[in-house]
Structure formats: structure tokens, C-alpha cells
Amino acid sequence: MSATALDLQPYASLDDRDCDKRIIKAKQALGNRVVILGHHYQRDEVFKHADYSGDSLKLSREAANSEAEYIVFCGVHFMAEVADIISRPDQISIIPDLSAGCAMADMANLEQVERAWAELSSVLDADECITPVTYINSAADLKSFCGSHGGIVCTSTNAQKILDWSFSRREKVLFFPDQHLGRNTGVKMGIPLEDMVIWDYDQPMGGLETEQIRQAKMILWKGFCSVHQMFKPEHIENFKREVPDGKVISHPEASYEVCQLSDYVGSTEYIIKTITDSEPGSHWLVGTELNLVNRLHQTLAKDNKTVQFMSPMVCMCSTMFRVDPQHLAWVLENLVAGHVVNQVSVAEDVANNARTALQRMLEI
Ligand code: CIZ
Ligand code: SF4
């Protein structure tokens, strides 16, 4: 064991092929002491080293069921937090680059949500009338807030079931941070758009009148994902003109207009399954992160399927991209040398209530 942790700096100049060899060697040395989880939005050079791949829900479950001492989460920060919260106390959650956050998750923080709750409570009894629902793309303290206010976590895979659960308990939902997932799911459940209001966290009372709050069924936080917001109705219209028998599938983080024009809407797991199960030779336009779309295109070329990215601009999730093979080699070689670097650890009091909200979700 080396006395101090290995420095990151020398890894920056390694090329990807060297990293590959070193990652494979370190994984072999660690054996089943480590599990590497790879989110669908990860770049190929990292994704190929994952023991399990999936969306954040599937990977959280893998983390919870894993025997490994170290969970190396190739994804973004909130995912590694979830892994820490739901894994055993002796397991250690690690993210290769601590700066890999989620810009959407950062659009809601605890202070803003607590202020919103206090302001809503001046209009109605929030703890009686409103279920707070946080998208899994959120910091642990927001999950904790939901846990301690009768609320719950959702992912894009289970959002509808979670909203059903929420409305069966209280008449309204405060949904954060992604307005689009909230709106698109609500619409799918038959909730009219006029029963949804936007909570602008930069304005007093969310920029709403008392009466609007009283009337609303869903209060949607004004957050969004800039990657999914790049997709526009005209991209779909152009594709439909060029490929009349083509199909369009979008992630519910895309806008209402885009989702309305799409043939299918669902999470990354749903997108992968739908396209994989489709007829050979079919053509797809996909509104979600580029790495996943390119990977599907490559894997399904053997079935003569074409899988095309929705935007003419290259737009990747820049924070997901921060997890590169250099950082992965660095964290793994440190583990081999007996050092934990980039541990993600959620304070126990926050983790307890966050676990409550996550367990409510996992039980549904
Ligand atoms: O839940 C996830 O992993 C995200 C961020 C998207 C999805 O639909 O899988
Ligand atoms: Fe966050 Fe959007 Fe990146 Fe997903 S694609 S991690 S929502 S910024």
C-alpha cells in the first residue's frame, strides 16, 4: 500500500488505450470487492467497463443488492449519493469525478424548497394537501425533505405510478426539479394543462396568485434539462417529412410540444427496449442524450435499423462527460493501492429521511 493517495495529475496525460489496460488490470486485482455501474449516458470508453448498465433506478437497485465493498458509479453525483444512501453502511460509494453533477438537479436546493413549502403553507395546509415529489435527479437533502414531509422520489421510469400513489394520499403534488417530467406525466394521466402551474423559485410565492395555488393540482418547479430542451417540434416535422414511416421516441424531460408529437415517450430503459424490440429495418428519431442514441445505432445496425439523434446540433450531457477513463483508472488504481478517493458520503441525518423517500419508491 502506498502511504498517500495517487495523484490525479499524471493520469491526465494517459491516452484512452493505456487507461483501458490499467482499468482492466485494476478491476482484476480488486475482483468482487468492486462493482462498476455505468449510466446509459456515459461515453463508450467508460461504459464498456461497467459491470452493470442502466438508468438510475436500475443501477440504484444493483447498488443495493451488490456485495461489493466499493461501488464506483459512472454517472452523476446524485446517483452516487443514492448508492450511498441505499447500500450497506460498510459499502463505499465513489464517483470518478466529483464535479460530475447534474445541471437540472442544481436548479432546486433545500433553501428554495423550504421557502416554497413555507409560502405554500401560508395559503393552505401543505402537509395535509400537498405531496412533495422529487425526481431522482436531485440532491440528497431534497430527497430527505420529501421523506420527512410524506413525500417520495420518482424516476422517469416510474413517474406515473409515483404520481398515482401521491394523489391517492393528498390532493396536490409539488413536483421538482423538472417541470417537463412533471407536466408530461401529468398529461399522460389525464390531468389538464390548466390544472398545472409553474413555481418560479426566483419570485416570491413562486410568481403565483393565491387562487392559482388553490386551484392547481400540480405545482411544477421551473427546472429543466438543457440537453433535452434542445429538441424542437421542427426536428420531428423534418424527420417525418423525410422518413414518413419513421418512428419518433422521446424522453419525458423533453418539452410538452416534443412529447406530444412523438410516437412514444419514456425513460432511457423504455427507449432502449422499444427500439430493440422493434421491426428489423425500422427508422427511429430519438430525443435523448447522444451517447445512448449513438450506442443504439451501432448495436442495432445489424438489424438494419437506423437510430438518429433528434437535434442537428451535437448536444451531450457535459457533466456526464466529465467521467472519463483517466478518472476511472485513477480511482481504481487508488483502491488497489488501499486508498479511497472521491467517496460520496451523505450525512446520516439526511440519509435517514432520504432513505424513507427512496424506500417508498422502491416498494411501489
Ligand atoms: O433515471 C435516469 O437514469 C435518467 C436520468 C434518465 C432515464 O430516463 O433513465
Ligand atoms: Fe442532468 Fe440533463 Fe445531464 Fe440528465 S442529461 S444528468 S438531467 S443535465
- State whether the beta carbon of 319 lies less than 6 angstroms from ligand 2: yes
Ligand 1 pocket member 268 (CB < 6 A): yes
Q: Is residue 152 located within the same domain as residue 249?
A: no
Q: What angle in degrees, to the nearest 10, is found between the helix axes of 110-121 and 140-148?
A: 30
- Neighbouring-strand partners of residue 172: 130
215 and 235, same domain (yes or no): no
Beta bridge partners of 173: 131, 218
- Statement to judge: residues 263 and 299 lie in one domain: yes
**120, 200: one domain:** yes
Q: Is 56 in the pocket of ligand 1 (CB under 6 A)?
A: yes
Q: Is there a single domain that holds both residue 57 and residue 138?
A: no
Of 206, 225, 244, which residue sits at a domain end?
225
Nearest alpha carbon, ligand 2 atom 3: 317
CA 320 – ligand 1 centroid, Å? 12
Which atom of ligand 2 is found nearest the CA of 178?
Answer: 7
Residue 252, domain CATH = 3.40.50.10800
Distance from the CA of 225 to the center of ligand 2, in angstroms? 6
In a domain, 2, yes or no: no
Are residues 219 and 234 located together in one domain of the fold?
Answer: no
Q: Which of 347, 363, 346 is nearest to 83 (CA)?
A: 346
Question: What's the pLDDT score for residue 2?
Answer: 73
User: Are 280 and 305 within 8 A, CB to CB?
Assistant: yes
Residue 328 sits in the same domain as residue 293: no
In a domain, 183, yes or no: yes
> Residue 256 corresponds to which amino acid?
Y
Q: Which of 138, 180, 319, 322 to mutate to test the pocket of ligand 2 (most atoms within 8 A of CB)?
A: 319
Q: Which atom of ligand 2 is nearest to the CA of 319?
A: 3
Ligand nearest to the CA of 76: 2
Strand bridging mode 92-94 / 130-135: unpaired
Any ligand 2 atom below 6 A from CB of 227: yes
Q: Are 289 and 77 in contact (CB under 8 A)?
A: no
Task: Compute the distance between CA of residue 271 and CA of residue 115 in angstroms, rounded to an integer.
Answer: 36
Task: Assess whether the C-beta atom of 138 lies below 6 angstroms from ligand 1.
Answer: no
| Cα-based torsion angle of the residue sequence 78, 80, 81, 86 in order, rounded to the nearest 10 degrees | 130
Q: How many CB atoms lie within 10 A of CB 111?
A: 10
In a domain? residue 360:
no
Q: Is the C-beta atom of 102 inside 6 A of ligand 2? A: yes
155 ligand 1 Cβ < 6 A = yes
Q: Which ligand is nearest to the CA of 75?
A: 2
- Give the pLDDT of the chain (364 residues) as one tens digit per residue: 678 999 999 999 999 999 999 999 999 999 999 999 999 999 999 999 999 999 988 998 888 899 999 999 999 999 999 999 999 999 999 999 999 999 999 999 999 999 999 999 999 999 999 999 999 999 999 999 999 999 999 999 999 999 999 999 999 999 999 999 999 999 999 999 999 999 999 999 999 999 999 999 999 999 999 999 999 999 999 999 999 999 999 999 999 999 999 999 999 999 999 999 999 999 999 999 999 999 999 999 999 999 999 999 888 899 999 999 999 999 999 999 999 999 999 999 999 999 999 999 999 9
Write out the residue range of the structural domain in which residue 162 sits.
Answer: 105-225
User: Which CATH number do you get for residue 150?
Assistant: 3.40.50
* Percent helix / strand / coil, the chain, rounded to 5: 50, 15, 35
Look at the chain and report how many structural domains it folds into.
3
- 1 is a domain residue: no
Task: Identify the domain boundary among 191, 225, 259.
Answer: 225
The answer to the question of residue 355 being in a domain is no
Are both 67 and 154 inside the same structural domain?
no
Query: Is the domain of 205 the same as that of 144?
Result: yes
Domain match, 110 and 216 both: yes
Domain match, 219 and 109 both: yes
For residue 226, what are the contacts with CB-CB under 8 A and spacing of at least 6? 103, 104
**137 lies in some domain:** yes
Picking from 260, 280, 309, the residue at the C-terminal end of a domain is 309
Q: Looking at the structure, do residues 65 and 166 belong to the same domain, yes or no?
A: no
On whether residue 354 sits in a domain, the answer given is no
How close is the Cα of 103 to the center of ligand 2, in Å? 6
Structural domain includes residue 191: yes
Please tell me the number of Cα atoms within 13 Å of 276 on its side-chain side: 10
Nearest to 69 by CA among 83, 49, 53, 55: 83
Report the nearest atom of ligand 1 relative to the CA of 157: 8
